[in-house]
Amino acid sequence: GGESLIIDGFRVVNDFRQEHPDYFQILTQTPVQFKQLYKQWQYFYSRTQPILELDEYGKVTRINFANSHSYTWKLPFDQMEEFYAAYTTFFQYIKNPVYEYCFILKPGDLLLMNDSRIMHGRKAFAGNRHLEIACVSWDFLQARQRFHQYKHLYV
């Protein structure tokens, strides 16, 4: 036990989009609230956004999906049934083992991922485990990349 599990969320979304375009549209247009509270880190995250975010060209740029961080969703009554049908269908896609990649992290290993695309978790295990987590804003990394890409224009 204890295997790390990652899923390419964009691959899941592409299949979901092709097979359930109406549900896909619901998950891109319905804002829902997500919250994370970690007292030990003095961290309280709260954001309202759709589960699937798109850019101006319709390309998926971010997946916001975490059952443990899903807050009480305040949807108009007439939208609830369709939203939950879309949500549970998408969840079934995520749970499909065809999308899973499992591996064991060993001491000294580093897992670096785009948290907007990669969904992650671990399988059950007994015993202790020490895990260090660090987060970097994707916007910061992209801004740094653009700086170097266009440096010739202003240096």
Distance between CA atoms of 63 and 13, rounded to whole angstroms? 9
Q: Could you give the C-alpha distances from 75 to 53, 71, 139, in angstroms and in order?
A: 18, 12, 30
**How many CB atoms lie under 10 A from the CB of residue 135?**
7
Distance between CA atoms of 101 and 56, rounded to whole angstroms? 31
123 domain residue, yes or no: yes
Name beta bridge partners: 120.
6
Structural domain containing residue 19: 4-128
pLDDT at residue 66, as a whole number: 78
142 domain residue, yes or no: no
CATH number of the domain where residue 62 is located: 3.60.130.10
Number of structural domains, the chain? Answer: 1
Per-residue pLDDT tens listing for the chain (155 residues): 688 999 999 999 999 999 999 999 999 999 988 877 778 878 787 888 899 999 999 999 999 987 665 656 788 999 999 999 999 999 999 999 999 999 998 888 988 888 889 998 888 888 887 777 777 777 888 888 888 898 888 87
For residue 127, the 8-state DSSP code is: S
Q: Which two tokens stand for residue 47?
A: 């954001």
144 domain residue, yes or no: no
Phi, psi of 77, deg, nearest 5: -55, -40
13 domain residue, yes or no: yes
146 domain residue, yes or no: no
pTM of the model: 0.81
44 domain residue, yes or no: yes
Q: Which two tokens stand for residue 113?
A: 């991922």
25 domain residue, yes or no: yes
150 domain residue, yes or no: no
